């Protein structure tokens, strides 16, 4: 399909931002016209080039897959094909690993650290230079609102490269008294929710510490990784230092099981993380696993309610709820539950669900048909479990995979919608009376990735925070990321940390 076809298909789907939700004040005599009526403001994709097909990026060039297999990448907002992506078999993966090994031995591991850093700085700057193109591509390929791709995903991806570029020649300061040796070839497998950002989390620390990589993006969101490959090529990065192979789970498995891989860095579901852990048991491969979550967002009676409502909205509806650390379980202290729920529903009604390329859009398209069906099944399950459902009333686009922001109340701790990761715009709400009850409920899932605490008491933040089984605890905010901060989980949310100084450890041997 040509780029102009894609553009026209995107334009025809820019429908929902004009739909006006009913004002919660409609039954009052005074209507302050509390809702703005937004004209649509679509970002143009005219100058964004998505090629009709992409090969694998191996040894500095794009090459066709050995067995010639391809699959389509779909725009989830229009259900139209964007491009054809190559499917890597074990032969393609083998080529990529060999290219990465040669680059490691002959060039990258022996390059002075300061020179390594220069390449990474250049990559960071080129991400900034191409940020508009990358942001629009990310929204078209993955369904996320352009405001988020433009203001969060792409700037943060550049920031991670800048941050780790700075570490390249300072590893002696990172690990005083120790020598940090690179590992070799790293196999990296990432999910579809933050395609370019997850790539940055993986590739930037690996390169900074002198390793070479073979990375596989998720099947539904490969395009920005392939555009990143173009950046690597255009930056003059030595051939074979970064290799990108595309494909589905079998390609990932081929990377995991390849003998030439020294370290696996995986971000994805807990179920696949367990398969990977079993596959590499008994080998000397190092690994980090960043897995799923079911974050609790705890609001105390002394919190600023309006601020908390904004935080709750951001915690669960950011990126359609496709966020491992989403605050998908709301725990509210009983005395304010009624007031907070009312305000939350009113705020939910103002959310614009629609065309990801429209700058007014708050919630874009669900990433794929499969994920849309999975979320829909969980919504049906919630009803079957006896929970009370509230969904916003605004119109949805006719085509594409769109889901209304959804709130379930009247749930119990053992309900599956409280225990299992839905990975969509679906929030459950429970109440608590005492801080210890809040902690007990928050910790009562198999996961331990993130949590949030809303209160005006600093001491309460420290008391509750130190009792949470979660790798990240946000206080009076949520979903804030910074390259200098480590990120990772406890329990079934994974092993190891990414980001910050901690994110260097998994890529080195300390001697």
The per-residue DSSP string of 347-410 comes to: HHHTPPB--TTBTT-SB---S-HHHHHHHHHHHHHHHHTTPEEEE--S---SSS-----EEEES
Single out the residue of 13, 16, 17, 193 in contact with ligand NDP (rule: CB under 6 A).
193
Q: What's the min distance (Å) between Cβ of 264 and ligand NDP?
A: 9
Single out the residue of 275, 280, 381, 389 in contact with ligand NDP (rule: CB under 6 A).
275
Which residue sits closest to ligand NDP, CB atoms considered? 252
Tell me how far apart the alpha carbons of residues 57 and 62 are, in angstroms, rounded to a whole number.
Answer: 4
Tell me how far apart the alpha carbons of residues 124 and 73 are, in angstroms, rounded to a whole number.
Answer: 26
41: left (phi over 0), alpha (psi -120 to 50) or beta: beta
For ligand NDP, the closer CB: 300 or 378: 378
Helix (H) or strand (E) holding 466: helix 458-466
List 186, 324, 325, 403, catalytic entry: 324
DSSP class of residue 218 equals -
Task: Give 29's contacts (C-beta < 8 A, 6+ positions apart).
Answer: none
Check binding of 58 to ligand NDP (CB under 6 A).
no
* Residue range at the interface with ligand NDP (CB under 6 A); choices 60-68, 180-188, 250-258, 390-398: 250-258
Check binding of 148 to ligand NDP (CB under 6 A).
no
- What x-and-dash track marks residues 319-348 binding ligand NDP by CB under 6 A? -----x------------------------
* Residue range at the interface with ligand NDP (CB under 6 A); choices 49-57, 107-115, 183-191, 207-215: 183-191
List 138, 290, 421, 492, catalytic entry: 290
Single out the residue of 142, 195, 292, 483 in contact with ligand NDP (rule: CB under 6 A).
292
59: left (phi over 0), alpha (psi -120 to 50) or beta: left
Site for ligand NDP in 194-233 (CB under 6 A): 216, 218-219
Confirm whether 324 is a catalytic residue: yes
* Residue range at the interface with ligand NDP (CB under 6 A); choices 60-68, 185-193, 341-349, 387-395: 185-193
Burial of 214 (0-12, 13-18, 19+ CB in 10 A): buried
* Residue range at the interface with ligand NDP (CB under 6 A); choices 42-50, 223-231, 251-259, 394-402: 251-259
Tell me how far apart the alpha carbons of residues 245 and 280 are, in angstroms, rounded to a whole number.
Answer: 20
How far from the centroid of its chain's Cα atoms is residue 476's Cα?
22
* Residue range at the interface with ligand NDP (CB under 6 A); choices 154-162, 270-278, 428-436, 503-511: 270-278
Give the length of the chain: 511
The CA-based diameter of the chain, rounded to the nearest angstrom, is 77
Q: Kindly tell me the sign of the dihedral angle through the C-alpha atoms of 47, 49, 50, 53.
A: positive
Confirm whether 290 is a catalytic residue: yes
For ligand NDP, the closer CB: 211 or 270: 270
Cα–Cα distances in angstroms (integers) from residue 493 to residues 38, 272, 406, 459, 490, in the given order:
40, 12, 24, 27, 5
Q: What's the min distance (Å) between Cβ of 319 and ligand NDP?
A: 10
Q: What's the min distance (Å) between Cβ of 443 and ligand NDP?
A: 17
Binding site for ligand NDP (CB under 6 A): 189-193, 216, 218-219, 248-249, 252-253, 256, 267-269, 272, 275-276, 290-293, 324, 421, 423, 449, 489, 493-494
Which sequence positions are flagged as catalytic?
290, 324
């Amino acid at each position: 399909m040509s780029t102009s076809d894609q553009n026209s298909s995107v334009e025809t789907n820019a429908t929902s931002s004009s739909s006006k939700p009913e004002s919660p004040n409609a039954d009052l005599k005074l209507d302050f016209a509390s809702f703005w009526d937004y004209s649509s403001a679509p970002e143009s994709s005219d100058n964004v080039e998505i090629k009709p097909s992409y090969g694998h990026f191996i040894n500095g060039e794009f090459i066709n897959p050995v067995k010639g297999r391809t699959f389509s990448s779909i725009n989830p907002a229009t259900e139209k094909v964007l491009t054809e992506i190559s499917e890597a078999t074990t032969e393609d993966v083998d080529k990529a690993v060999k290219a990465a090994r040669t680059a490691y031995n002959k060039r990258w591991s022996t390059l002075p650290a300061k020179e390594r850093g220069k390449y990474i700085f250049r990559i960071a700057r080129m991400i900034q230079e191409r940020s508009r193109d990358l942001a629009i591509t990310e929204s078209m390929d993955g369904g996320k609102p352009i405001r988020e791709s433009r203001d969060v995903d792409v700037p943060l991806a550049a920031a991670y490269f800048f941050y780790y570029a700075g570490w390249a020649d300072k590893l002696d300061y990172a690990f005083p008294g120790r020598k940090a040796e690179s590992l070799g070839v790293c196999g990296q497998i990432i999910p579809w929710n933050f395609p370019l950002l997850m790539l940055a989390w993986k590739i930037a620390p690996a390169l900074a510490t002198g390793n070479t990589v073979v990375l596989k993006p998720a099947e539904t969101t490969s395009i920005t990784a392939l555009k990143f490959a173009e950046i690597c090529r255009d930056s003059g990065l030595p051939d074979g230092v970064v290799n990108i192979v595309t494909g589905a789970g079998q390609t990932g498995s081929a990377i995991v099981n390849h003998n030439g891989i020294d370290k696996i860095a995986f971000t994805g579901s807990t179920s696949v993380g367990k398969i990977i852990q079993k596959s590499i048991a008994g080998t000397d491969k190092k690994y980090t696993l960043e897995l799923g979550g079911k974050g609790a967002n705890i609001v105390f009676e002394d919190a600023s309610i309006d601020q908390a409502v904004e935080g709750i909205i951001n915690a669960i509806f950011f990126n359609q709820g496709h966020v491992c650390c989403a605050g998908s379980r709301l725990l509210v202290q009983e005395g304010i539950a009624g007031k907070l729920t009312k305000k939350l529903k009113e705020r939910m009604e103002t959310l614009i669900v629609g065309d990801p390329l429209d700058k007014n859009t708050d919630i874009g398209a669900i990433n794929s048909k499969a994920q849309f069906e999975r979320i829909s099944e969980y919504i049906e399950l919630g009803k079957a479990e006896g929970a009370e459902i509230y969904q916003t009333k605004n119109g949805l686009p006719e085509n594409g995979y769109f889901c209304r922001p959804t709130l379930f109340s009247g749930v119990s701790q053992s309900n599956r919608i409280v225990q299992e990761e839905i990975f969509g715009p679906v929030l459950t709400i429970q109440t608590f009376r005492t801080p210890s009850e809040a902690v007990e409920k928050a910790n009562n899932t198999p996961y331990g990735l993130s949590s949030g605490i809303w209160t005006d008491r600093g001491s309460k933040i420290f008391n509750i925070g130190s009792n949470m089984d979660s790798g990240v605890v946000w206080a009076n905010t949520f979903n804030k990321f910074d390259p200098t901060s480590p990120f990772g989980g406890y329990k079934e949310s994974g092993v190891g940390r990414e980001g910050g100084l901690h994110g260097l450890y998994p890529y080195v041997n300390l001697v």
